[in-house]
Structure 1
Amino acid sequence: MLANKVGKQLRHPTYSLTGWLVSKFFKWHNQILEENAVKLCNIQPNDTVLELGHGPGFGLQAAAQLLTAPEGKLLGVDYSQYMHEMASQRMKEQISRGKAVLYCSDLVAMPIEENTVDKVFHCNCYYFWPDLKAGARAIHRVMKPGGNMVTTLRLDSVIKAAKLKVLTGDKWRPDVYMEALQSAGFTDVRMENKREKLTTLQAIFATAVK
């Protein structure tokens, strides 16, 4: 029961003690993943960049610093109202200047036009999506031809979560997600091991082909 409760809060944090604790977990566990995903995206100053499942907004902050050209724009999607409001507060300056737009939305229903996004990144979240193939198609839909997507995770932690039944089924497996990306129209789908200080993490890369 506890594993199920924790899994639900990781998937969809709410205004609760457990949700608050999850937000602290994101800062401790996800910040290094967020920063590396941003770095590996190779963001250019005039890109349109989208973060999926942005949580409290640490990755958004890191990406915003790189979008220095007037055309540069940052988009964020998270279907937790709690995380949406937390990130909106963190990014209020960029939002007020029209530099960033955040949506409280399901991934598949995100209100972003087709072929408009240069770079997409997300961290530690694909295994919470109800349907990996539908999620991959939704990402592919909004990306420009040749656009790059990066997701980061700590596979050792994910495996532990699966053993504890915090994650169920086989969606946590990177190969299952990579197969979904390929079926949606991505190419050059691969996973690489990365090292950041004392932390080993994994990065999945994919390029949108249209």
Structure 2
Amino acid sequence: MLSKKVGKQLGHPTYSLTGWLVSKFFKWHNQILEENAVKLSNIQPNDTVLELGHGPGFGLQVASQLLTGPRGKLIGVDYSQYMHQMASERMKEQISRGKAVLYYSDLVAMPIEENTVDKVFHCNCYYFWPDLNMGATAIHRVMKPGGIMVTTLRLDSVIKAASMGVLTGDKWRPEVYMEALQSSGFTDVRMENKKERNITFQAVFATALK
């Protein structure tokens, strides 16, 4: 029961003590993943960049510093109202200048035009999507041809969460996620092991083929 409750809060934090604790967990656990997802995306000054499941907005902050060109734009999507409001407060300056826009939205319903996004990144996110194929298709829809998507995760932690019942089913398995990406129109889908500050993590790369 407890593991399911924690898993639910990780996927959809709410205004609650558990939701608040989850936000603190994101800061502690996700910082390296967020920073490296941004770095590995090779963001250029005038790119349009999308972060999915942005949580409190740490990755958005890092990405915004790279979008220095006049056409550089940052988009964030999260279906937790709590996380949306936390990130909106953190990014209020960029939002007021028109450099960032955040949507409180489900991934599949995100109000982003087709073929408009250069780079997409997310971390510790895909295992909470209700349907991997629908999620991957939604991402592919908004990306420009040749656009790059990067996913970061710590597979050892994910395996542990699955063994404890925090993550259920087989959606957490990287190979299942990668199969969904390939079937949705992505190419050059691969996973690489990375290491920083003595922490090993994984990065999944995919290119939007159109």
Q: What TM-score bracket applies, with the shorter chain setting the length?
A: over 0.9
If the length of structure 2 is used for normalisation, what is the TM-score? 1.00
**1:121 aligns to what?**
121
SS in 2 for 1:127: helix
1:22 aligns with 2:18: no
Q: Which runs of 4+ in 1 moved over 2 A?
A: none
Shift of 1:197: 1.1
Q: Equivalences for 1:41-56 in 2 at 5 Å?
A: 41-56=41-56
**1:9 aligns to what?**
9
Distance 2:117 2:15 in 1: 31
**1:39 aligns to what?**
39
Distance 1:197 1:190 in 2: 23
Structure 2 segments unaligned to the other structure (5+ residues): none
**2:102 aligns to what?**
102
AA aligned opposite 1:136: A
Structure 1 segments unaligned to the other structure (5+ residues): none
Q: Equivalences for 1:85-96 in 2 at 5 Å?
A: 85-96=85-96
Distance 1:141 1:49 in 2: 14
Distance 1:8 1:31 in 2: 21
Q: Give CA deviations for 1:113-135 in whole Å, capped at 9, x if unaligned.
A: 00000000000010000000000
SS in 2 for 1:115: coil
Distance 2:26 2:38 in 1: 16
SS in 1 for 2:51: strand
AA aligned opposite 1:92: K
Distance 1:75 1:48 in 2: 8
AA aligned opposite 1:167: L
Q: Give CA deviations for 1:127-178 in whole Å, capped at 9, x if unaligned.
A: 0000000000000000000000000000000000000000000000000000
Q: Give CA deviations for 1:156-209 in whole Å, capped at 9, x if unaligned.
A: 000000000000000000000000000000000000000011100000000000
Distance 1:197 1:83 in 2: 27
Distance 1:8 1:197 in 2: 30
Shift of 1:34: 0.3
1:197 aligns with 2:197: yes
Distance 2:78 2:174 in 1: 21
Distance 2:197 2:54 in 1: 23
Q: Equivalences for 1:56-75 in 2 at 5 Å?
A: 56-75=56-75
**1:160 aligns to what?**
160
Q: Equivalences for 1:127-146 in 2 at 5 Å?
A: 127-146=127-146
Distance 1:131 1:176 in 2: 11
SS in 1 for 2:56: coil
Distance 1:5 1:197 in 2: 31
Aligned length: 210
